[in-house]
Amino acid sequence: MGGTAPRGDATRWTTGLRLLAVGLLLLAACLCAGHARAEDGYDLWLRYHPLPAAQAGTYRSHVTQLIAGATTPTQVATRSELLRGLGGLLGQALPVADTASRDGALIIGTPVSSPLIAGLHLDMRALGREGYLIRSVVVNGHAATIIAGNDDIGVLYGAFRFLRLLQTAQPIARLDLRDWPRVKLRVLDHWDNLNGSVERGYAGASIWDWWKLPDWRAPRYTDYARANASIGINGAVLNNVNADPLILTHKYLEKVAALADVFRPYGIRVYLSVRFSAPIEVGGLKTADPLDPQVRRWWRTKADEIYKLIPDFGGFLVKANSEGQPGPQDYGRTHADGANALAAALAPHGGVVMWRAFVYANKPGTDRIKQSYNEFKPLDGKFAANVLLQVKNGPLDFQPREPFNPLFGAMPKTRLIMELQITKEYLGFATHLVYLGPLYQEALSADTMTRGKGSTVAKVVDGTLDGHALTGMAGVANIGADRDWCGSVFNQANWYVFGRLAWNPTLSARAIAEEWVRMTFSNDDAFVKPVVDMMMGSREAAVNYMTPLGLAHLMGHGHHYGPEPWDASGPRADWTPVYFHRADYAGIGFDRTATGSDAVAQYAPPVAREFASLQQIPDKYLLWFHHVPWDYRMRSGHTLWDELVMHYTHGVDAVKQMQRTWSSLKGYVDDERYRQVAAFLAIQLHEAQWWRDACIAYFQSINGLPLPVGYAPPAHSLKYYKSLSFKDVPGYSSW
């Protein structure tokens, strides 16, 4: 034993050192975990994690007590959000007080709900019902901050803005902010079916548990409302535009009413998609002719029933005579006849009809993208005052890139609501990291030139171009029952940017991305900058690896997963990629100039001239409007074919760069979210490469041209890419 003692001491030493080292490692791991603890994304951008000590300390000196009424449901919601948010961010509970007894009171309310606010005699005329004012003031001799509005809902929006200031590390010592929504209806369209599936949904099942409603009001519904209110969304269409008529039965309306009750304190109205033939299917009538007195009476009675259950019901969204849906044309009536019949039923209650312009059935054979304009433009001025015509951003169908829809600016007497897609049906589903801010901004900032220079789509949307007060923006939601709501953390940014742009269509996509990154991940500039850059470039990357230079709709048939540029399978020609790219031995692209379909003529003359001219057309729209030879010389000096291959390759390279950026930021993100993003980027790279290779293989099979020097050939044969087929693709419910 004696001979072993020294060795034993040495062993103990070594063991001790090892234990110390392990302890230090554990401590370090704990500290890191405190900095970046595992997160599942449920909290979205409302995480309210404790701020770094120094920053929290500064804020704590400015926010020492909360003075807030709690009489109405919205006041209760506002107070509880502030207590939750500030308590979390500042790391300590905030006392609620009746009067400003020391420096640092946060006083919130309206001149009616708060005597302190009333006493300040603020000029809040410009704020409207939903606007707010945040200001540093002196009350009872004490420094204080007020969040004031004309109505409770404005105060709630102001409270979220105040929280955002702290979440994004902004100074709060000398505040003087006022803001109000520029668009009236800021609506999410859920394409959720009553059986729990979601058309074009990639984040799991529907969040609406119709089966358990109205008795079970899941807490998640409140969190949904909180998230929406935090970005100013004030409406939700609960069900798919390919609507099940059952939603209008009393049983379902009671379920809808339960959701409306949950959302009401957060300023969110519910809307329903309705099937035009519901008077037949639900009402037992023989016709749904909008001019038939019985049909009109049925809609009136139904509206009365709805408003008894839901006094603030928003109205109806209608997809009619589109993709197999019934509509007024089935009875020889116009879209205006149909919309106005429903509008008449809702008008006494203050409801609206959002009538979709997404139609392409009237004249098969006409260029698909021209049909909506052809059908609706002549109806300008024919719609009732509570009808909004809901127009997709582009004339086709939510492609990675489209020029703006020519209906914007072309119907000055009609209220147009813009429809954007938040769910990424055509942009890689849930897994591809594609921030849609740049796409939305591109659409909103497009100049229609319809009333001279500066007649932007944003001005049509916010109503300033033609003096409309009833305005709107709708986004097809990307929300599902997945724990992280949207199928990936970065998809949450698309919900966020939609809400922020619907609030103010002139905000910058980059600034919004930065807000979101700070709230969702970290305020560390070393993290924020590269992530925002990555997000801002991500949409262009997707355009490049999917549909560069104005190509469109090359996706897999029906389910829209992956590339299928060779598909010519019908049943309609204008559902197939070959219809859209028109590639042949001589060239590629859709001639939409006067020598072709003349779709350019639907734009105001200066825009039409630009799009029609090969000299002026921006490269990004070239093949949308022109059929050009493969050896056409691009501005870069390359031939079109070489340039196409280069764009496809840039797209793939950009995803590689995104991967590099993300792996360099590992230390800033909790492991759970880090790993998911990394794994999804790997999927994205794989699929981007597949897109590039399959498209190049196919186009090369048509033109027989060699690849530009230095560009790798596709990894597989065209036969291989054509052999791929997919069943059970998420989000694909055929109608």
Q: Which residues are catalytic?
A: 323, 397, 425
The number of beta carbons lying within 10 Å of the beta carbon of residue 512 is 25
> What tokens appear for 611 in the block?
């799009």
**Could you tell me which of 267, 262, 276, 437 has the C-alpha nearest to residue 356?**
276
The backbone torsions φ and ψ at residue 187, rounded to the nearest 5 degrees and listed phi first, read -125, 140
Q: Cβ distance 358 to 322 under 8 Å?
A: yes
DSSP tag of 639: B
In which element (H, E) is residue 116 found?
Answer: helix 115-119
Instruction: State the Cα–Cα distance between residues 590 and 581, nearest whole angstrom.
Output: 6
Q: Rule CB under 6 A: say whether 553 interacts with ligand GCV.
A: no
Nearest approach, Cβ of 64 to ligand GCV (angstroms)?
A: 51
Instruction: State the Cα–Cα distance between residues 471 and 449, nearest whole angstrom.
Output: 20
The backbone torsions φ and ψ at residue 715, rounded to the nearest 5 degrees and listed phi first, read -70, -30
Residues 404, 641, 710, CA angle at the centre, nearest 5°?
125
Q: Rule CB under 6 A: say whether 358 interacts with ligand GCV.
A: yes
Nearest approach, Cβ of 322 to ligand GCV (angstroms)?
A: 6
Please count the CA atoms within 13 angstroms of the CA of 221 that sit on its side-chain side.
24
Strands (E), 78-221: 105-109, 132-139, 142-148, 176-179, 185-189
The mark string for 171-210 relative to ligand GCV (x by CB under 6 A, - otherwise) is --------------------x-------xx----------
In which element (H, E) is residue 713 found?
Answer: none
Strands (E), 383-526: 387-392, 415-421, 472-476
Q: Considering only residues 438 through 467, tell me which ones interact with ligand GCV, judged by CB under 6 A.
A: none
**Could you tell me which of 144, 149, 109 has the C-alpha nearest to residue 128?**
149
Q: Which is nearer to ligand GCV, 131 or 562 (CB)?
A: 562
Q: Considering only residues 409 through 438, tell me which ones interact with ligand GCV, judged by CB under 6 A.
A: 425
Which of residues 43, 367, 397, 515 is near ligand GCV by CB under 6 A? 397
3-state helix, strand, coil in the chain (%, to 5): 45, 10, 45
Q: Cβ distance 42 to 482 under 8 Å?
A: no
The single residue listed with the structure tokens 């007649």 is 455
The single residue listed with the structure tokens 């072993």 is 4
Q: Cβ distance 153 to 267 under 8 Å?
A: yes
The residues with which 187 forms a beta bridge, in sequence order, are 235, 474
> What tokens appear for 691 in the block?
């897109």
| 3-state SS, one letter per residue, for 22-62 | HHHHHHHHHHHHHHCCCCCCCCCCCCCCCCCHHHHHHHHHH
The number of beta carbons lying within 10 Å of the beta carbon of residue 15 is 10
Query: Could you give the dihedral angle defined by the CA atoms of residues 466, 472, 475 and 476, in that order, rounded to the nearest 10 degrees?
Result: -100
Instruction: State the Cα–Cα distance between residues 400 and 416, nearest whole angstrom.
Output: 22
Alpha carbon of residue 422 to chain centroid: 3
The single residue listed with the structure tokens 């031995």 is 585
Instruction: State the Cα–Cα distance between residues 451 and 437, nearest whole angstrom.
Output: 26
Nearest approach, Cβ of 119 to ligand GCV (angstroms)?
A: 51
> What region, left, alpha or beta, does residue 453 occupy, with left being phi > 0 and alpha being psi -120 to 50 degrees?
beta
The site that binds ligand GCV (CB under 6 A) totals a number of residues, namely 10
The mark string for 299-338 relative to ligand GCV (x by CB under 6 A, - otherwise) is --------------------x---x---------------
The mark string for 652-691 relative to ligand GCV (x by CB under 6 A, - otherwise) is ----------------------------------------
Cis previous bond, 171, omega within 30:
no
Instruction: Please report, in angstroms and rounded to a whole number, the separation of the first and last CA atoms in the chain.
Output: 84
- Tell whether the torsion through CA atoms of 149, 155, 160 and 162 is positive or negative: positive
Q: Cβ distance 649 to 692 under 8 Å?
A: yes
Nearest approach, Cβ of 733 to ligand GCV (angstroms)?
A: 8
Instruction: State the Cα–Cα distance between residues 548 and 399, nearest whole angstrom.
Output: 11
**Could you tell me which of 115, 116, 117 has the C-alpha nearest to residue 132?**
117
Instruction: State the Cα–Cα distance between residues 400 and 436, nearest whole angstrom.
Output: 9
Q: Cβ distance 621 to 550 under 8 Å?
A: yes
The single residue listed with the structure tokens 């004339």 is 395
Q: Cβ distance 569 to 716 under 8 Å?
A: no
The mark string for 226-265 relative to ligand GCV (x by CB under 6 A, - otherwise) is ---------------xx-----------------------
Nearest approach, Cβ of 356 to ligand GCV (angstroms)?
A: 7
Residues that bind ligand GCV (CB under 6 A): 191, 199-200, 241-242, 319, 323, 358, 397, 425
